[in-house]
A = this chain, B = another copy of it.
């Protein structure tokens, strides 16, 4: 018996886009730490290198959009060279407070073979202990806001200073704030459109083990979109009853995962701010872009790899992600 099946097409395609670059209308506010990290992984050690959520986010997002309006706080020890590098990449530092006689935030951590877990060996808040960000007047026209992982009340204070509701507010957070500042976290979540968390954080925040149920609970707290990052297992995007599964690039070695989540966030919001499209379909692309950027970040210690990648490398990597999940299938 010959069985003729129905033919259907599903396209994963690289489409033509027309982009107005460097437009004043495409601005993005990035809020978060700029800091020093000391990192130990099974592959090596680094002493006091540049880190911080907002540093990684800005480095990643600057591949997609300029200017980036940075809000952070640093000490007099933060290298001018790094500030100059950021400026050269289109990062506006007007909102970065410099406390000349104080030290920048410092974090020391150690990763084991399973890079999804890490031990914090030392945390020195330094300038971060008195961070009361002021949103400069010149930042007020920003349509997109990326709140990097920070004290929830500080994240909220930035939103409260915005005269117009941004088109999209994306937020990252962590388990520490769920344990120490849950009421503040719940308050800021009411004003957030997209929450980025990892799987264990999603479970903790929602008190649900199933990630599908966790995302549904979190969507009741405010965010209309929830992105659950699963490290080497990829990421999930939830919106209403829709789900998208993004792969991670299978890598031989993850040299240093520090900043991978922030780099993901930078690629995600960078793509959305560039395209100005906040649909579910475009968020899927944004997650692939974020995943591609994160896959670079882990190849070398700290921000090293992020500072050297070219547009061609990013396009090749995006292409690899398309290939990774591309399949053909017949109904039975």
Q: Does A8 contact B (CB under 8 A)?
A: yes
Residue contact A330 to B285, C-beta cutoff 8 Å:
yes
Q: Does A1 contact B (CB under 8 A)?
A: yes
Among A1-37, those with CB < 8 Å from B are 1-22
Residue contact B11 to A16, C-beta cutoff 8 Å:
no
Which residue of the partner chain B has the closest CB to A63?
A: B332
Chain B: minimal CB distance from A280 (Å): 10
Partner of A247, one of B20, B247, B250: B247
Report the interface size for chain A: residues with CB under 8 A from the other chain.
70
Q: Does A107 contact B (CB under 8 A)?
A: no
Residue contact B250 to A211, C-beta cutoff 8 Å:
yes
Q: Does A45 contact B (CB under 8 A)?
A: no
A329-B12 in contact given A20-B1, A245-B234, A324-B245 (Cβ < 8 Å): yes
Interface 0/1 of A297-332, CB less than 8 Å to B? 000000000000001001100110111111111111
Interface 0/1 of A230-260, CB less than 8 Å to B? 1011101000000111111011111000000
Q: Does A192 contact B (CB under 8 A)?
A: no
Chain B: minimal CB distance from A168 (Å): 19
Residue contact A14 to B250, C-beta cutoff 8 Å:
no
Q: Does A157 contact B (CB under 8 A)?
A: no
Bound form: Cα–Cα A2–B19 in Å = 6
Bound form: Cα–Cα A289–B324 in Å = 17
Chain B: minimal CB distance from A228 (Å): 9
Residue contact A210 to B253, C-beta cutoff 8 Å:
yes
Bound form: Cα–Cα A323–B284 in Å = 11
Residue numbers of A with Cβ under 8 A of B are 1-22, 63-64, 113-114, 209-213, 230, 232-234, 236, 243-248, 250-254, 275, 281, 284-285, 288-289, 311, 314-315, 318-319, 321-332
